[in-house]
Amino acid sequence: MTPAKWVGVWRERLPDVPLELVAVSAAEAQDVLRGGGADAGLVRLPVDRPYFSAIPLYTETTVVVVPKDHVIAAVDEVTAADLADEVVFHPLDDTLGWERPPGRPGFERPATTGDAVELVAANVGLLVVPQSLARLHHRRDLTYRTVTDVPQSQVALSWPEERTTDAVEDFIGIVRGRTVNSTRGRRPAGAAAEQPKQRPRRAASGTGAGTGGGARSRSTGGAGGSGGGGGAAKGARRGGGGAQGARKGRPRRRS
């Protein structure tokens, strides 16, 4: 995993809260989370439900690792049938959960993916893994090609359900791409809360406009200060003055 982008966002939003990355193998990840060695983890599915919560992030391409001079290196992708006559290693830390791995089995199962890569480099056989593992164990004398019709590995953000802390919620929000002002995100500690801006109200025109507009201004002003009340009072006086002016006009002559 390369969570550099998410870590960068964390440090921008929560500079006073340290975030420590702990590198573990896929096989160890769930045990580390159970034991409290990490608050959350980027793991491969499946996880133990309902003990763990998990948010699927993406599905990885599956590739076959081969020597650069192997015939498979001349094509862009292969199928499981294309590997039928090849020795394909199935390490003990495999993450693909095969029902039946492709190719012919090796003389023994390597303990780790790294050990299997060393055997591929020695031209003893091939290895089928998620693309990120092929990149992790990259060697100049090896390359890899996509395998189209085999299981794929799904990566998720996971954490123990009973330990869903505020910090975990913050990280979930970052991974999901929520902004600082998202309704489901939490504000960084110490950040000043932004007050929602109220749109100014326009006084209605026509009969009773002064008193009607004044009532609305007072109800929205409330404890916000004297400005709203003052505006309401002015609106009410303007309405009253208009009515008095109409009464003081000269009476119309009767014909």
pLDDT for the residue numbered 194: 44
pLDDT for the residue numbered 234: 35
32: closest CA among 141, 122, 163? 163
Q: Which residue has the tokens 């395998």?
A: 147
Token couple for 156: 């998720």
Least confident of 44-48, 97-101, 230-234, 250-254: 230-234
Tens-digit pLDDT profile for residues 139-194: 999 999 999 999 999 999 999 999 999 999 999 999 999 988 774 555 444 444 44
Pairing assessment for the beta strands 142-147 and 62-67 based on DSSP bridges: antiparallel
Token couple for 115: 């050990």
Is residue 194 within 8 Å of 179, Cβ to Cβ?
no
**66 pLDDT above the threshold of 50:** yes
Q: Among the residues of the chain, which ranges form H helices?
A: 4-13, 29-34, 113-121, 131-136, 166-175, 209-221, 226-247
**1 pLDDT above the threshold of 90:** no
One-letter identity of residue 7: V
Enumerate domains of the chain plus CATH numbers.
Answer: 4-59+154-175 (3.40.190.10), 62-147 (3.40.190.10), 209-242 (no CATH)
**241 pLDDT above the threshold of 90:** no
pLDDT for the residue numbered 97: 84
pLDDT for the residue numbered 33: 96
| Dist. CA 141–CA 209, nearest whole Å | 84
| Dihedral pair phi/psi, residue 12, rounded to 5° | -75, -40
Could you tell me the pLDDT band of residue 26, with boundaries at 50, 70 and 90?
A: confident
Tens-digit pLDDT profile for residues 95-109: 898 888 999 999 999
Average pLDDT, the chain: 78
pLDDT for the residue numbered 25: 83
pTM for the model stands at 0.64
pLDDT for the residue numbered 250: 52
Token couple for 249: 């006009």
| Dist. CA 42–CA 156, nearest whole Å | 6
Q: Which of 110-119, 208-217, 222-231 has the highest mean pLDDT?
A: 110-119
**48 pLDDT above the threshold of 50:** yes
Could you tell me the pLDDT band of residue 4, with boundaries at 50, 70 and 90?
A: confident
**242 pLDDT above the threshold of 70:** no
